[in-house]
């Protein structure tokens, strides 16, 4: 029996209530500047280590664009509830920046409530291969490295393979904010992290491209950890070079 989207979302809401009734709120929304918010979810590993993951919420007119899901279905449900209560504008569009669980695990939740989810063409294929939710839409014009496209007020960038073969970045030209996702490491990071699904040599070249193309950035957001400035690009390049 096929469940309706509304019923699926209702079930997820019930599960979310049961799972988080006694827990601290796992979603944080922080205002960065007018019309731009950072959303952070937390994944707890089996060894009880908690690891935060960053995404972005951007106001575009009377609607919101969501960059990346929260880390898991239930946390994505919680994220949508937090957006509704704290921002009170509808999320109509979402961009998934690559095919890992910290970016894509909540795709089905978003699509079940009518949010259009779009990714790099490879993300659609890789999520399917890895058993993750599959985005219904792709940026067909972002297949080539260094290509860009517009989504409302945003510029979506495919700089080339780096942390992942399909990693996208997002540039907010008016605010000078660069969302690097997992292609950018926080200043506290001491290694390049998970490189199993990426390309180290290309990653180093991507950092050079970003350094030249987006040198006016005043805020740079890594996939995990604290927000910084343009120094995060140099730091990421150093870590990538060290992992050769």
**Selected catalytic residue, list 39, 100, 120, 224:** 100
- Residues 69, 107: contact at Cβ < 8 Å? yes
Q: Which of 132, 15, 28, 25 is nearest to 74 (CA)?
A: 15
Residue 205 has φ and ψ, to the nearest 5°, of -65, -35
In order, the DSSP letters of 21-76 are TTS----EEEEEETTEEEEEEEEE-TTS-EEEEEEEEEEETTEEEEES--SSHHHH
- Answer yes or no: 194 catalytic: yes
Q: Which of 68, 102, 108, 166 is catalytic?
A: 102
Q: Is 102 a catalytic residue?
A: yes
CA–CA separation, 194 and 129 (whole Å): 18
Measured distance CA(233)–CA(101) in Å, rounded: 23
- Contacts of 22 by beta carbon, 8 Å cutoff, 6+ apart: none
Taking the C-alpha atoms of residue 230 and residue 26, their distance in angstroms, rounded to an integer, is 28
Q: Which of 39, 98, 120, 224 is catalytic?
A: 98
Measured torsion, CA atoms of residues 94, 133, 114, 7, in degrees rounded to the nearest 10: -150
163 is catalytic: yes
> Which residue among the candidates 163, 166, 167, 235 is catalytic per the annotation?
163
Report, as residue numbers or ranges, the catalytic residues: 98, 100, 102, 163, 194
């Amino acid at each position: 029996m096929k469940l309706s989207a509304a019923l699926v979302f209702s079930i997820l809401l019930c599960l979310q209530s049961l799972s988080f009734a006694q827990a601290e709120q796992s979603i944080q929304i922080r205002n960065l500047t007018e019309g731009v918010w950072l959303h952070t979810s937390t994944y707890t590993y089996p060894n009880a280590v908690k690891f935060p993951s960053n995404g972005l919420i951007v106001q575009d007119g009377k609607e919101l664009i969501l960059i990346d899901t929260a880390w898991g279905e239930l946390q994505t449900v919680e994220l949508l509830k937090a957006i509704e209560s704290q921002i009170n504008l509808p999320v109509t569009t979402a961009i998934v920046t690559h095919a890992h669980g910290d970016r894509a695990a909540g795709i089905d939740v978003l699509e079940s409530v009518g949010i259009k989810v779009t990714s790099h063409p490879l993300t659609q294929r890789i999520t399917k291969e890895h058993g993750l939710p599959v985005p219904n839409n792709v940026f067909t014009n972002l297949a080539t490295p260094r290509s860009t496209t517009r989504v409302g007020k945003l510029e979506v960038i495919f700089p080339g393979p780096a942390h992942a073969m399909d990693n996208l970045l997002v540039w907010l030209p008016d605010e000078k904010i660069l969302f690097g996702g997992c292609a950018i490491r926080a200043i506290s990071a001491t290694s390049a992290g998970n490189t199993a699904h990426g390309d180290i040599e290309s990653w180093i070249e991507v950092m050079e491209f970003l350094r030249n193309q987006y040198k006016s950035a005043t805020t740079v957001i890594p996939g995990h950890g604290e927000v910084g400035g343009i120094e995060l690009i140099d730091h990421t390049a150093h870590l990538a070079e060290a992992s050769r």
